[in-house]
Structure 1
Amino acid sequence: MTAEPMLPAEKVNRVAGLLADRVRQYDATRDNRAAFAYTYFRLTTTLATALDKGTPVFHDPPWVAELCETLASAYFRAMDSTDAWLAGRRGGSADEVEPTDLPDSIPKPWRDVYAASSVRRSYLLEDVLFSMMAHISYDLPGALRHMAASTDVRGHIADFQRMNDVLASCIDTVQDDLSARYITGLGELDKLFTRSDELLTNYGIRVARGLAWYNCDRLMDPDSTEDASRSIGNSTAAFISEIRAPDDWKLRTGLWVLRRLIPDRRHWPAASAPLA
């Protein structure tokens, strides 16, 4: 007797389950990657609920589920490669590293993210912002390009926009729950991130994912593939630099002072704490 194929909502829930496993793993080892894994888990469960309820009405739910799976696979590969590197490294994840310390098996944006999160004065919100940037600006165009080899991606732009609407609509709630789970005084950190935390807003999610669609088109155009690959490979490092070392010396100095006045305030949930 053959098993019945999984429904789109079930496939997305399966991805959410794998993300939940990552959250528990990173929480247990107090790995700074936990905050983004939790954010990603919550966004994915929201998408699964939308598919299950049929609100909004997607034209091609299986395509939506496939994109979710393909995109998550890119994230899991990057994290697995990072784990493999950490397993063979003296000191584990305790030491500060440079992007060049990490192997090429990890995509450059994720090397940039891991190195940025390893510094002493790294904030939880930074960990989420930098990871979100790598995942949307680098992984998402690549996932769309991969799917374009077998499906008409451009014909699914309406469903892609519906996905954007679903994910953007819950980002404020997710950020509140992120704060409750991992950090005390998230409002204080707004002093550091007032120029750069738009990515974790309703509008920011829509814009970032829309740019990813555009960059997928660039990747598929032979005349722009090389430039597009270089651009999306470097965009996360540029984003990190914009936050950590802005060009304006007055702003750079002010941020340097604030970093020494405002503690990280990161805390870790109990092992029994529910994820949602």
Structure 2
Amino acid sequence: MYSKVLALVLAAATLTACGAAAGEQSQQQPRITTAKVDRIAAEVPSAIRDRGALQVITNAGTVPPLTFYDTDNKTPIGVEVDLAGLVADVLGLRTQVTVASWENVFVGLDSGKYDAGFTNITVTEERKEKYDFATYRLDNVSFEARRGGNWKIAGAADVAGRTIAVASGTNQEKLLLDWNAQNVAKGLKPVDVKYFQNSTDYYLALQSGRIDAYLGPNPTAAYHAKSSGQTEIIGTVSGAGPTLQGEIAATTKKGNGFVQALADALNQIIADGSYRKVLDRWGLANEAVPRSEINPPGLPKS
């Protein structure tokens, strides 16, 4: 599920009428590109192929690495924009990216105004009733700690007796509290759970030693660790819980005939190595998938 903590970490952008081409990315980081593949481009529905542009809708915030604004405060960049651009390359299309609020992403897909959503959308069984999915990243949450320690987290017992921060009302909080309940039932020390108001407070507490780790969405944690050089990921678990690996997917209106082309294009960029270059750029190598799948098992209905 799209974690509520992204609302805390990523300030939601309002709907904007102007799209930005993926080629307009920051001059400091030119967009990674790849070649058109004719056999895959031929799978694109004629309405999209005749238009010559892939209409992508996404949700932007202010913190990398998902979708955020370049230094001009108007050009959307980030891992989602980069991957959408690669897919368009394979399909022989230009990329037109429109930024919308989270709820308007789905309004735009429902109306057919946009061809695909690239915006950290998790596959769920409920969403599969209205949308088709082609997966491209794992949906994970991560424990971030100060760099240089020897503490690793693989399961519930590893957090016993530790002080860990998490955002209230999130999937991460539920996971941490469930683990804590398991530990207490086994006679292990409880977790000291801490809550803060914003991401800056979490990281200040981490650096000062007031907390041992911060449990948050893997994209923001992994990118922060990569860019700051002061922290590291010491454990990663599925955002869908212990019984299912959640997956993020390109999302398109159900039955519109486009999902096969999306999946084939994603598998092409995985095979040609451009996919890995994008994930490495944004510190998300630990969310790589071996191949794109169409409509895999999703998070169950509540």
Does TM, scored on the shorter chain, surpass 0.5? no
Which structure has greater strand proportion? 2
Q: Which has the higher contact order (CA 8 A, sep 6+)?
A: 2
Which structure has greater helix proportion? 1
Which TM-score applies when normalising by structure 2? 0.25
Which TM-score applies when normalising by structure 1? 0.27
